[in-house]
Amino acid sequence: MKVLVTGGCGYIGSHTVVDLLNDGYEVIIVDNLSNSKIEVLDKIKKITGKSVTFYQYDLCDKEKLESVFAKEKIDAVIHFAGLKAVGESVQKPLMYYENNLFSTINLLEMMQKYKVYKIVFSSSATVYGSPKSLPIKEDFPLSTTNPYGTTKLMIENILTDLYKADNSFDITILRYFNPIGAHKSGLLGEDPNGIPNNLMPYIVKVATGDLPILSIFGDDYDTEDGTGVRDYIHVCDLSYGHVLALKNPQNGLKIYNLGTGKGTSVLELVTMFEKVNNVKVNRQIAKRREGDIASCYASNEKAHKELGFTCKYTLEDMCKDSYNYVKKNTNL
Ligand code: NAD
Ligand code: UD1
């Protein structure tokens, strides 16, 4: 089976490509490398012993995208490509709407034209806005607070409308919670440009001495220790969820949360990181970050029941693997 992976050179995409190759799928990647590096392809080969077909194309370029569909006999698509920085999306909303929506519409048009009906889409827990209760289930009300999140919700709506109009489509929407960690080999991981916005990449940079101190955004939330609670999931558990989604015999439009189902506070994560890596992470309490919620964690029951999704990696693994990746790639 030939799978087109858009954004396959990125953080989650590259881990998923490894899983697909290890499972015997043929992989074609389309990525414009706007947030990733070409070297990822060699690293994927080093891990799996297998090569992928790569096109450095922008999905917004419809002609180039069509040339891929015309040339390759694609059976299914996993659609990771997109811009994902919340703060940047607030500053540059048009760029986010243009990139994330045009690329997806082009992709869906090509799929319809070339009768490729199976798609797995990367959505986010951000579509739940501020949940009324926990754990979060797939049928909770949806709302967003920033343009990035709105592009995710708009794409979910586009997919829903498309399925209503043409139920040959077989669509899986995966709502990720907070992916962290890296491949055990230390070859693949998360490499944000500049100063990271997300917690784990920031912790790692403080641990390596690249940044002086971690600001903990608020210690007065209604949580056990007052700091924000999230559902951190190892990227390798998350990536395998995509393989399970492809294997799912159930057709139609399906939506699944991919999280561990367990909430961890900022302080718990920092403390665990220090313990397993035997390193100090300087920190200070700062004011709350605008737009943050107190707690967010998934009910993963539906994914478990219908996809056989389980998480085999622990919080210790996530902390070890995140640090290992950065150490290996900066020669500390
Ligand atoms: P990433 O930035 O590492 O990977 C995205 C890839 O898409 C990059 O390699 C980038 O170069 C490529 N890309 C972007 N726009 C493109 C375009 N127009 N044409 C071709 N390629 C393009 O991000 P990631 O963390 O691997 O996330 C993958 C997907 O999962 C994204 O859609 C993201 O919004 C979603 N998601 C991520 C998280 C997270 O915390 N990482 C959480 C929820 C959802
Ligand atoms: C953020 C995005 C969300 C996106 C997700 C994955 C915001 C408001 N939300 O979610 O839309 O889907 O990333 O990309 O940006 N924290 C600190 N100090 C830091 C960084 C974070 O204390 O330097 C805290 C946060 O307040 C939060 C937790 O750590 O409680 C996790 O933050 P982060 O990694 O940014 O993820 P989310 O806020 O869940």
| Rounded Cα gap, residues 225 and 45, in angstroms | 44
226 C-beta neighbours (distance < 10 Å), count: 16
**β-pairing, 178-180 with 232-234?**
parallel
CB-CB contact of 160 with 175 (8 Å): no
Helix or strand or coil: residue 13?
helix
Q: Collect the ranges in the chain with pLDDT lower than 50.
A: none
Ligand 1 nearest atom to the CA of residue 58, by list position? 19
78 close to ligand 1 (CB < 6 Angstrom): no
Of the residues 25, 148, 221, 313, which is catalytic? 148
Q: What's the confidence (pLDDT) of residue 191?
A: 77
145 close to ligand 2 (CB < 6 Angstrom): no
| Rounded Cα gap, residues 199 and 270, in angstroms | 9
277-302 pLDDT, tens digit per residue, is 999 999 999 999 999 999 999 999 99
Confirm whether 97 is a catalytic residue.
no
CB-CB contact of 89 with 146 (8 Å): yes
Q: Is the pTM of this model over 0.85?
A: yes
β-bridge partners, 295: 229
Locate 204 and state its tokens. Answer: 């790692």
Q: What's the confidence (pLDDT) of residue 192?
A: 81
| Rounded Cα gap, residues 8 and 110, in angstroms | 18
Q: What's the confidence (pLDDT) of residue 331?
A: 59
Q: What are the backbone angles phi and psi of residue 198, rounded to the nearest 5°?
A: -85, 155
Q: What's the confidence (pLDDT) of residue 316?
A: 98
The CATH number fitting domain 2-182+232-259, selected from 3.40.50.720, 3.40.50.1370, 3.30.230.70, 3.90.1150.10:
3.40.50.720
Q: What's the confidence (pLDDT) of residue 310?
A: 98
| Rounded Cα gap, residues 298 and 58, in angstroms | 33
Residue whose CA is at the smallest distance from ligand 2 atom 1: 198
Say which residue the tokens 């579509």 belong to.
127
Query: Do you find a cis peptide bond into 135, omega within 30 degrees of 0?
Result: yes
What residue type is assigned to position 153 of the chain? L
Say which residue the tokens 């220790």 belong to.
225
Q: What are the backbone angles phi and psi of residue 104, rounded to the nearest 5°?
A: -70, -40
Q: What's the confidence (pLDDT) of residue 194?
A: 85
| Rounded Cα gap, residues 66 and 35, in angstroms | 22
CB-CB contact of 318 with 234 (8 Å): yes
**β-pairing, 170-176 with 253-258?**
parallel
164 C-beta neighbours (distance < 10 Å), count: 10
**Best probe residue, ligand 1, of 11, 33, 59, 238 (max atoms within 8 Å of C-beta):** 11
Residue whose CA is at the smallest distance from ligand 2 atom 27: 228
CA 220 to chain centre: 29
Q: What's the confidence (pLDDT) of residue 269?
A: 98
Q: What's the confidence (pLDDT) of residue 301?
A: 98
Q: What are the backbone angles phi and psi of residue 106, rounded to the nearest 5°?
A: -55, -45
Helix or strand or coil: residue 281?
coil
Domain boundaries, the chain: 2-182+232-259
Distance from the alpha carbon of residue 238 to the mean position of ligand 1, in angstroms: 14
124 close to ligand 2 (CB < 6 Angstrom): yes
